[in-house]
Amino acid sequence: MIRPKNGRIILDSFDISKYEAYKRTELGISYVPAERELFPQMTVIENLELGAFTKRARKRKEENLELVFRLFPRLKERKNQLAGTMSGGEQQMLAIARGMMTCPTILMLDEPSTGLAPKLVAELFEVIRKITEENLTVLLVEQHMTQALSVADRGYVLETGRITLSGSGEELLVNPLVKQAYLGV
Amino acid sequence: MSYIPVIIDGIVYGLQLSLLAVGITLIFGLGEILNLSHGEFAVIAGVTAAVLNGVDVNPFISALVGVLLAGVFGLIIEKTILISAYKATGETRILSGMFITLGLGFALHGYMANQFALVSYSVRLPIDTIEFLGMVFRPTNLVAGGISAITLILLMLLLKYTYFGKAVRSVVQNEIGAQLCGINPSRIRMIIFFIGTMLAGLAGIMQGLSSTIEPEVGVQLTIFAIIVSIVGGVRSVTGTIVAGILLGVVYSLVSFLIGTYIATIFFLLAAALTIVFRPEGLLGHKV
């Protein structure tokens, strides 16, 4: 984990800058990295069960399991398959599902579309839209600008580490500066 | 027919090796610490239990005290001198872990050899040998084998089905992933070091029960345990257990037919062949 050089990370008015990664999960931040970081030699269901490791998440394991199986029916079909043997798209779905099993208040998705075929990307954004309807805040970092903004309530444009533009998803979609920033012209 | 008792002896010995080696496998798999003092924990527990048993303490209580002593001592080591190794990463961690535990091994070996006379210690149960179909079995040997087997089965069930066991496997497979699930890897490593050193202790006591244990045998136990762990696949508990039993039987047969020295060479040969032909071990990377 990289510690901030300056500035602080605040969650529900708590300073969590110095908290270790596992502690942050306990407090309700779920991070789904682009690398997915699954347990390759374990089955889909074991991966999901581990998502519900914390005491808080364990209490709601059954209902969360039902929720992620509703969002990702393919995971239910494949629940006894080893995670390492699944396709890239399925692994991404599993990573997001495992993140949701931790019972988060914020779900952070880091470039979830990395390495996915266009058809799967569309599918993925459809699921992200559904997740936002589940009373859960999603923080999404994406390169697929148009699709990301169309599922977002608010958007922020980051340029070399600084927020240069922000606004509602719809506003940004039509803002020519966004496109400029995106293309780097 | 006369081979059967030799094979049974081998299985019992192999189970003891497995008890020792699963600790090496788990501790290495979780934290990349190759515990070169592992065998000394077996000696601590074995000699403690034998000495207590020698002054007429109930054998089960003696064993319990020995196992707990090994485990608590393991915990203290994990929380003190190993901290600097855990702070490092990659190759540095592996190397410093080896140097620290090697030093610890020398220290413990020196202490045990100094404090306790260089004689054979054993734990005795109040039962005699049994004859069955004309063959002589030592019941203490069978008791030792039974206890070892049950312990290993319980360990495997623990790893396979409990939340704790799944957390252990998750840290072995992907430490970052484990943290993302809210699992604290340092805590898991600590508990496994405790369990691993207790299992080593139990192995020492079982050796004292089925034959004898000597204060100076720690180094040999460490080396054998590492070989079993390599042959079984350094990250596979099931593989380690299978390798332990196999090598135990081979060792016992070769000792019986040729001699102990040759049997030791067979051990090393098995490790060398594994590294050449199946570097991932008998059962590969499964945990």
pLDDT tens, residue by residue, B19-62:
999 999 999 999 999 999 999 999 999 999 999 988 988 989 99
Mean pLDDT calculated for residue range A129-154? 90
User: Where is A28: in which H helix or E strand?
Assistant: none
Q: How many helices (H) and strands (E) does chain B have?
A: 12, 2
- More confident call, B209 vs B135: B209
Q: To the nearest 10°, the Cα dihedral for A138, A139, A144, A150?
A: 50
Percent of chain B with pLDDT strictly greater than 70: 94
Contact B178 A40 (CB under 8 A): no
């592992």: which residue's tokens? B38
Do B30 and B231 meet the contact criterion of CB atoms below 8 Å apart?
no
Which residue among A30, A37, A98 places its CB closest to the CB of B176? A37
Q: Give contacts of B170 with chain A, Cβ < 8 Å.
A: 39, 42, 50
pLDDT recorded at residue A71: 94
Any B CB within 8 A of A151 CB = no
Counted across chains A and B, CB pairs separated by less than 8 A come out at 72
Determine the Cα–Cα distance for residues B80 and B61; give it in Å rounded to an integer. Answer: 28
What confidence tier does A143 reach under pLDDT thresholds 50, 70, 90?
confident
Q: Average per-residue pLDDT in chain B?
A: 91
Contact A58 B163 (CB under 8 A): yes
| CA contacts within 13 A on the Cβ side of A117 | 6
Determine the Cα–Cα distance for residues B44 and B52; give it in Å rounded to an integer. Answer: 12
Which residue among B178, B183, B287 places its CB closest to the CB of A41? B287
pLDDT recorded at residue A162: 87
Mean pLDDT calculated for residue range B156-161? 95
Chain length of chain A: 185
pLDDT at residue B118 greater than cutoff 70: no
Any B CB within 8 A of A54 CB = yes
Determine the Cα–Cα distance for residues B74 and A127; give it in Å rounded to an integer. Answer: 48
pLDDT recorded at residue B286: 46
Which residue among B174, B182, B183 places its CB closest to the CB of A38? B174
Contact B170 A39 (CB under 8 A): yes
pLDDT recorded at residue B277: 85
Interface test with A, best of B180, B183, B187, B283 (most A CBs within 10 A): B180
> B88: which residues sit within 8 A by CB, 6+ positions away?
B96
| CA contacts within 13 A on the Cβ side of A165 | 18
Q: Report the relative pairing of strands A106-110 and A137-141 from DSSP bridges.
A: parallel
Mean pLDDT calculated for residue range B217-221? 94
Domains and CATH numbers, chain A: 14-143 (3.40.50.300), 153-185 (no CATH)
ipTM: 0.91
pLDDT at residue B186 greater than cutoff 90: yes
Determine the Cα–Cα distance for residues B238 and B153; give it in Å rounded to an integer. Answer: 10
Contacts with B, A 10-29, CB within 8 Å? 20-23, 25-26
Contact B176 A58 (CB under 8 A): no
Interface test with B, best of A39, A44, A85, A106 (most B CBs within 10 A): A39
Mean pLDDT calculated for residue range B264-271? 85
SS (H, E, C) B137-206: ECHHHHHHHHHHHHHHHHHHHHHHHCHHHHHHHHHHHCHHHHHHCCCCHHHHHHHHHHHHHHHHHHHHHH
Nearest of B14, B34, B166 to residue B91 by alpha carbon:
B34
């596979």: which residue's tokens? B236
Contact A49 B166 (CB under 8 A): yes
Any A CB within 8 A of B268 CB = no
- What is the value of pTM for the model shown? 0.90
Contacts with A, B 159-178, CB within 8 Å? 163, 166-167, 169-170, 173-174, 176-178
Which residue among A25, A46, A57 places its CB closest to the CB of B180? A25
Interface test with B, best of A16, A22, A100 (most B CBs within 10 A): A22
Identify the closest residue of chain B to A51 by CA–CA distance. B181
